[in-house]
Amino acid sequence: MYKKLENILTIGPIYPYRGGIAQYGGLLVKNLIKKYQVYNLSFKKMYPSILYPGKFQMDYKNDFLKYENTKFILSTLNPLSYIEAINYVKKVNPDLVIIHWWHPFFAVAYLPILWVLKKKFSICICCNNVLPHDNIPFRRVLTKWILKQGHSFIIHSKEEEKIFNTLMPDKEIYFSTVCPNLNVIHTEKHTKESARKCLGLENKSHVLLFFGFVRKYKGLFYLLKALPDIIRNNKNTKLLIAGEFYEDKTEYLKFIENNGLKKHVIIHEEFIPDDEVEIFFKAADVVILPYVSATSSGVIQVAYQYGCPVIASRVGGLPEAVNDGKTGYLVPPCDSTALAGKINYFFSEKSTQDWKLNIKQEQNKYSWNRMIEGIEMLWNQMRMEERGNVMKQISVASPNLNGNEKRYVDDCMNTTQISSGGVENILFNLNAHLRSFVNVNMLPVVATVRLHYI
């Protein structure tokens, strides 16, 4: 029997930070606390204002994901906060540390923290993105440095898994799954008609929804370029853009103006609070993700929560989330003609799918229960690997242990923390115990383990 997993500490943004990573972190904690004692170590300051493209980093409006057992310690560019964070983790003494990884900017803080913690604690790196969408300098080098500090990993698509295996071919303990549902508050306050009334949309309109912050890799320009063809097919088409622009919006507005699209495009240029999300998805006929590149997208899971089909580019992890022809359609990336054709087909009489029924049948794979089971599987795999490594070292030091002595070794490993530090503890304890009844000196093994793990 392996040591039981009881205490977990997560590191990453959480309420009141806003955005997908913070929502993911908050929902992970909310689901872990159903079975475990959970602590969260979060940021006192994430980004300097000059590096943050949004209007504000915090959202205090919805405190559903507020978690009292959170310490706001980390300041990304303040080394003194790293020391404070390390001391806090040591004080909590968790069985497992889960740290969120999504951008190399955070390597400056994460690397020294993980380098220290990995010696004593089991580290699981949750790769929300293995590599960032931006082609920033040294992104692969910084990412490899961070991933080297992990004992196990969570990955969110097969495409991400390929990238991970390219960077870390020797890391074998990981769990690959689609991104779980990120809908923080699932409300049913509105019908399609009442949601459209809130947004000033007519019931007869064909409503396309582009949801989330606007950045180049999300391909909004390709959707705008497809719009004239879609409008020619149905003059009642409306494109609803809901989210902040994380880049200059001038080009987008100019294109809309120059192509006579102004009355067909409605822009809500703001962060959409959780309690207003339902209105946008209920009002939409279909959600469009014309991404140029992608890892995974929480927007798809939110759409599915409201029974709304998705048309997305065939890039990254999106094909794993969109069952082509069942829960939506897939199109080639950077192809406005193909996108327009598929949207027109969606609204045609030829598209006769029962979207809501199909989506309901897919819901289980986005459950948080599945995610928690994956974390538990990683824990057991880490224990098995650690057991194997220790037993190899012990076999070298003393190939003639009898049955009782081997059982003692096994019991020690069942009650000791996984990590290089935990391995050393086992061996030091065994050194004293085994020498009392068999001529074994474990200290050379300790030295070997130090070289192997640290």
Q: How does pLDDT run across 337-389, given as a tens digit for each residue?
A: 999 999 999 998 656 678 888 998 887 788 899 899 999 999 988 887 776 66
pLDDT score of 354: 85
Does residue 439 have a pLDDT over 50? no
pLDDT score of 117: 96
Q: How many whole angstroms separate alpha carbon 77 and alpha carbon 378?
A: 31
Question: For the domain that residue 91 is a member of, what is the CATH number?
Answer: 3.40.50.11930
Q: Which two tokens stand for residue 407?
A: 């059982």
Residue 270 structural domain: 192-354
Indicate whether 205 and 340 sit together in one domain.
Answer: yes
Q: How many whole angstroms separate alpha carbon 387 and alpha carbon 394?
A: 10
Q: Of the candidates 121, 127, 9, 15, which has an alpha carbon nearest to the alpha carbon of residue 61? A: 15
In contact, 382 and 151? CB cutoff 8 Å:
yes
pLDDT score of 446: 44
In contact, 286 and 209? CB cutoff 8 Å:
yes
The last residue of a domain, from among 294, 325, 354 = 354
pLDDT score of 404: 64
The last residue of a domain, from among 176, 209, 224 = 176
Indicate whether 314 and 261 sit together in one domain.
Answer: yes
Indicate whether 332 and 408 sit together in one domain.
Answer: no
Q: How does pLDDT run across 253-273, given as a tens digit for each residue?
A: 999 999 999 999 999 988 888
Indicate whether 141 and 202 sit together in one domain.
Answer: no
In contact, 445 and 393? CB cutoff 8 Å:
yes
Return the residue matching tokens 């019908």: 191
How many Cα atoms sit within 13 Å of 59 on the Cβ side? 21
In contact, 402 and 215? CB cutoff 8 Å:
no
Indicate whether 326 and 375 sit together in one domain.
Answer: no
The last residue of a domain, from among 143, 176, 209 = 176
Q: Which two tokens stand for residue 353?
A: 């799918």
Indicate whether 294 and 401 sit together in one domain.
Answer: no
In-domain check, residue 58? yes
* Cβ contacts of 197 within 8 Å, gap of 6 or more: none
pLDDT score of 419: 47
Does residue 447 have a pLDDT over 80? no
CA distance readout (Å), 127 to 142, 152, 414: 14, 10, 28
Q: How does pLDDT run across 290-336, given as a tens digit for each residue?
A: 999 877 778 998 899 899 999 999 998 899 899 999 999 999 999 99
Does residue 452 have a pLDDT over 90? no
Neighbours of 46 (CB within 10 A): 23
Indicate whether 203 and 238 sit together in one domain.
Answer: yes
Question: For the domain that residue 270 is a member of, what is the CATH number?
Answer: 3.40.50.2000
In-domain check, residue 363? no
pLDDT score of 443: 45
For residue 97, what pLDDT band results from cuts at 50, 70 and 90? very high
For residue 398, what pLDDT band results from cuts at 50, 70 and 90? low
pLDDT-wise least confident of 26-35, 116-125, 144-153, 440-449? 440-449
In-domain check, residue 181? no
3-state secondary structure at position 119: coil
Query: How many domains, the chain?
Result: 3
Greatest mean pLDDT among 58-62, 168-172, 403-407:
168-172
Q: Of the candidates 79, 74, 80, which has an alpha carbon nearest to the alpha carbon of residue 42? A: 74
3-state secondary structure at position 2: coil
Q: How many whole angstroms separate alpha carbon 180 and alpha carbon 374?
A: 12
Q: How many whole angstroms separate alpha carbon 12 and alpha carbon 40?
A: 8
